[in-house]
Amino acid sequence: MGFTATQMSLAVIFLGSLSFILGIVAENRKPQLGTPIHKKNSVICTYPSDPSVTLGYLSFIFLVASTVAGYCSVFYPYKGKSVPQSIFFRNKTFIVFFNIALLTAGLGAALTLWPTIEEQNYHKHKAYPKTTEVCPTSKMGVLGGGAFLSLDSCLLWLVALMIAINVREDFFENGESESHLARAAIGTSI
């Protein structure tokens, strides 16, 4: 038994929403500063234990899963009827929403992954020059921006899916009417 468009859209919504929620929680749990401990020739930074790195990576994983589900939902052969991909790309509205969904997914992934990796590096490499007064952390707000782009991407995949369903219906309606015309033309010529 295959998937329905409703099931695919629910998967996209669930994965995208989960990515959004995890990204927002990661942004809120991220420490603003570390504590500098002055040694002889360097400064060692200590950071409070926080789940922001793990949550950031999970948000990224669910964004990728949402994007894959969105991409697959657009081209999936519902009810066993497949449509050539070239048919979808003849519709200008579909092209616009499809490309914007891909773009927002890519930007969301970049804005989620960049501060997460940066924060992980700060937690891993804790020694800094003696002149360091403040322990660095990743820039505030970037991870939250990535979370909102994840949500936007999820919603744009749903719009692309709705347009794809319309293109699919138009294709089958026109395909059936063309086959009836072809049969009628063959019948009258005999």
> Tell me: the pLDDT tens digits for 9-60?
999 999 999 999 999 999 998 888 888 888 888 888 888 888 999 999 999 9
Model confidence pLDDT, tens digit, residues 116-163: 999 898 888 888 787 777 888 888 899 999 999 999 999 999 999 999
- Cβ neighbourhood burial of 92 (10 Å; 0-12, 13-18, 19+): exposed
Residue at token pair 């059936």? 176
pLDDT at 112: 95
- Nearest alpha carbon to residue 46 among 61, 54, 35, 55: 35
pTM of the predicted model as reported, rounded to 2 decimal places = 0.85
Domain extents in the chain? 5-33+47-119+135-189
Residue at token pair 């066993």? 80
